[in-house]
Amino acid sequence: MLKGKTALVTGSTSGIGLGMAKSLARQGANIVLNGFGDVDGPRSQVEASGVKVEYHGADMSKPGEIEDMMKFAASRFGRVDILVNNAGIQHVAPVEDFPPEKWDAIIAINLSSAFHASRLALPAMKAANWGRIINVASVHGLVGSVQKSAYVAAKHGLVGLTKVTALENAITGVTCNAICPGWVLTPLVQKQVDARALANGCSNEEATRQLLGEKEPSMQFTTPDELGELAVFFCSPAANNVRGVAWNMDGGWVAQ
């Protein structure tokens, strides 16, 4: 379905971004990977679908590096047809103890990077009259949780950016939508499970049960593959008129 298209997925060396990249590659899209850590493992998982894969290591907190990455993608593949703004980090602390530098980093990586990548991707998408911008927000783009001020502020901002981007392009073939996962067992969440196990003196299994039990009625993690398939739907012709939605995949978290 996506043969001949190019998808750039930020933060795709791990977790949800890697799941998105693999799902889009299974549909035939060439992929630009981005993110820190091991690149060869993720690259070979995506290449298994027989598509072309490139990597750019831009630090998404740095607008100049984002600009380099967008130029790099255009030079390798002509243009970016599908942009998945996924890179993100977390830090937990009450507002009065929240380190200002962590606030700045979370706003830069989880929110401002999506603005920069989108503003740089849109001209070519509009010229082609086809494009998909998919912002990986969170249930925390829709509701709050204690100790996550920067993350919740960034994700609410990302849902707002999604709506405006969708509206500004509503009469074009370019759509913008957000995906709002509940708990997904990635390194980002495993750190929160580990912190809980340490604080409560309990096992990993008990900490996981507590984490899910507080928020997620299904008592199940959503998987990166399931989220990747929602991204594929947003890229399909059936989603041509899906514009500006914030679609939660959260085991019932936000239904409560």
Which residues belong to the active site?
Answer: 151
Of 109 and 245, which CB lies nearer to ligand NAD in the complex structure?
Answer: 109
> Hey, what are 83's tokens?
């942009």
CA distances from 98 to 95, 112, 148, 151 (A): 5, 19, 9, 11
Least Cα distance to 98 among 146, 159, 156 occurs for 146
* Residue 149 near ligand NAD by CB under 6 A: no
d(CA 167, CA 145): 29
Binding residue for ligand NAD, selected from 138, 165, 169, 177, defined by CB under 6 A: 138
Give me the least distance between CB of 241 and ligand NAD, in Å please. 25
Going through 4-159 in order, the beta strands assigned E by DSSP cover: 6-9, 30-33, 53-55, 82-85, 131-136
State both tokens at 171. Answer: 């009469």
Binding positions for ligand NAD, 53-112, rule CB under 6 A: 59-61, 86-89, 109-110
Q: Who's near 108: CB < 8 A, 6+ residues apart?
A: 60, 61
Closer residue to ligand NAD in complex, CB, 36/173? 36
Nearer to ligand NAD, 10 or 49 (CB): 10
Q: CB of 223: closest distance to ligand NAD in angstroms? A: 10
Smaller CB distance to ligand NAD: residue 5 or 155? 155
Q: Which residues bind ligand NAD (CB under 6 A)?
A: 11-17, 34-37, 59-61, 86-89, 109-110, 136, 138, 181, 183-184, 186-189
